[in-house]
Amino acid sequence: MKNLQIGIWSLLKAAIDILLTNPIILYPIFLLGFIQLLLLEIIYFSVRNPMSEFFGPVIVRSAGPAFLHYPYNYLILLKWFHGLEIFIAILISCIFYGAVVLIISLINSGKPVSLKKVFQQVFSSYIHLVTAMILAAMFFKGLTFLHGLIFKKALFIRSSVGIYFLIKNTVIISAPYLQWLLACFVTALLAFVVPIIMLEQKKIITAVKLNFTDYGRFFGLILGVIIVSGFLYLPIIYLQSIQTNEMILNDPEMSGLFLALSILMMLFITAIQYTAITLCYLLTKEEPL
């Protein structure tokens, strides 16, 4: 890896190569995917016995009795899973992202990978990883709040022709893609926090400080890596943006399959991104720039 040039395409190519030649890196990602799909299955069966004994009253109070039955139960499936995503990202995903970073570092140094020891080290830094995810979520929520203000302003535009109508349509149509860009921005902004926590055993405050002082100069590079790899998710965003409740009710099974596919696609992209970020981090340690 010492001869690797630090650039967007070289990092992405190296990330894919190391994932293909060292599939053990994907083990934490597979586990995370299993947990997410398991949660999806639990929500799916929440309207059936015996789970409906617990979830049924909650669904009736929050949505109505019709949502206990097909095909309306698929609307609950989508709503509840998307509601859980933030908690999955903060409390669960950080464990497996930390494991990915540590495994790549062990492989790079030629040391044997013991998954038991990897996860022991991850859990020893769990509180700092969770705090890092909370910080990222706060940044993202703050930016989306500001975007929401602009979006609401656009909805009040009454013009049906002219420049103001064009602005309104642009803001509305671009909304999901802008949120994707904001997510890319936040990911790149705090990209090195997890590697610093895991590989330097720093606490969250020190990790955030070093992320900006020592690695801030790589923000543009990492943002490019995140955006380019994230292009794979744009078709999912487009399909989500045109999906309506009527479409879900007309073909509920396809909506459930689409949700599972979107989960797997995001995990694949995340694996590439965290691998590329970790490689960039390790390269700066081997050959300071």
Q: Lowest-confidence range among 39-48, 237-246, 267-276?
A: 237-246
Instruction: Please write down the long-range contacts of 20-27, taking CB distance under 8 Å and 24 or more positions apart.
Output: 22/103, 22/104, 22/107, 24/103, 24/107, 24/113, 24/115, 25/100, 25/103, 25/104, 25/107, 25/271, 25/275, 26/271, 27/99, 27/103, 27/115
The distance in angstroms from the start CA to the end CA of the chain is: 15
pLDDT at 288 over 50: no
What is the mean predicted confidence (pLDDT) over 29-50? Answer: 89
Give me the pLDDT at residue 151, please.
86
- Residues 148-203 have pLDDT tens digits of 898 888 888 777 777 877 888 888 888 999 999 999 999 999 999 999 999 999 99
Buried b vs exposed e over 76-89: b needs ≥16 C-beta within 10 Å? Answer: bbbebbeeeeeebb
Per-residue pLDDT band at 239 (split at 50, 70, 90): confident
What is the mean predicted confidence (pLDDT) over 93-120? Answer: 94
Per-residue pLDDT band at 279 (split at 50, 70, 90): very high
Give me the pLDDT at residue 286, please.
65
Query: Which residue's entry shows tokens 């999955």?
Result: 88
Are 136 and 226 in contact, with CB atoms under 8 Å apart? Answer: no
Give me the pLDDT at residue 242, please.
81
Per cent of the chain over pLDDT 90 is: 56
Are 34 and 280 in contact, with CB atoms under 8 Å apart? Answer: no
